[in-house]
Amino acid sequence: MSDESTETVAVLNTTSVVGIAVCFVLAVAALFALPTVQSRGVSFDTAFWIVSAVELVTALGIAYFVLNLHEERG
């Protein structure tokens, strides 16, 4: 038997960790952005859908980064 290890090791992908953190911060900021967007003269409906779109994009971003959180190295 050989001493070489043929097992793959899962390594944490730091780019995904940073991406999750950035998406999380954007999502939290978007939660409080509705009054700010409305104060710029945008109607409630438009401001609501803008904030909803930001929340959707950040949720999809977090899902993408979570799926790519670990890299296989052999």
Over residues 18-27, the pLDDT tens digits come to 999 999 999 9
Nearest of 7, 14, 8, 9 to residue 68 by alpha carbon: 14
Cα(65)–Cα(12) distance, integer angstroms: 11
Q: CA dihedral in degrees (44, 36, 28, 19; nearest 10)?
A: 100
Percent share of the chain, pLDDT over 90:
76
Is the pLDDT confidence value at 31 over 80? yes
Nearest of 58, 57, 66, 60 to residue 13 by alpha carbon: 66
Q: Across all residues in the chain, what is the average pLDDT?
A: 90
Write the single-letter amino acid at 70.
Answer: H
More confident residue, 5 or 59: 59
